[in-house]
């Protein structure tokens, strides 16, 4: 997870990539435009990477501010970098936790599968 400018500059080897934004956490710092007294509350989802290299995906159960969502990634999940993926049109299919959102026709999707063997 990195800012577009950093991605273009470093040109890392990738198999797949998606672009979204804004960045929630950049090198351990909250995005400078996010204010603790922000009033924009929406459903949000994002992805971050922990120090051990594990990708962490999160989706809110209700409406949250960008500041609060970014703090979740940095402070609770331990991500030095995190990216906002989408908001109001976000959906999650996770039968194991009883979640089957059916809000919108989906475009880009990210799937996570367990490796066999």
Q: Walk along the chain (117 residues) in steps of 10 and give the mean pLDDT of each run.
A: 88 83 95 94 92 90 94 98 82 77 67 73
Q: What is the pLDDT of residue 96?
A: 85
| Beta bridge partner(s), residue 99 | 94
Run of H or E including 82:
strand 79-86
Run of H or E including 99:
strand 99-100
* Tokens found for residue 21: 């934004």
96 preceded by a cis bond (ω within 30 of 0): no
Q: What is the pLDDT of residue 79?
A: 98
Closest CA to 23 of 37, 39, 4: 4
Q: What is the pLDDT of residue 104?
A: 60
Q: What is the pLDDT of residue 107?
A: 64
């Amino acid at each position: 997870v990195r800012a577009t400018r950093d991605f273009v500059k470093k040109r890392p080897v990738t198999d797949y990539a998606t672009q979204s934004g804004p960045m929630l956490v950049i090198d351990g710092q909250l995005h400078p435009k996010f204010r603790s007294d922000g009033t924009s509350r929406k459903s949000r989802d994002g992805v971050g990477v922990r120090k051990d290299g594990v990708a962490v995906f999160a989706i809110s159960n209700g409406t949250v501010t960008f500041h609060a969502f970014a703090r979740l990634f940095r402070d609770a999940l331990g991500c030095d970098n995190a990216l906002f993926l989408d908001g109001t049109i976000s959906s999650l299919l996770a039968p194991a936790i009883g979640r089957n959102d059916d809000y919108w026709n989906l475009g880009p999707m990210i799937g996570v599968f367990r490796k066999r063997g």
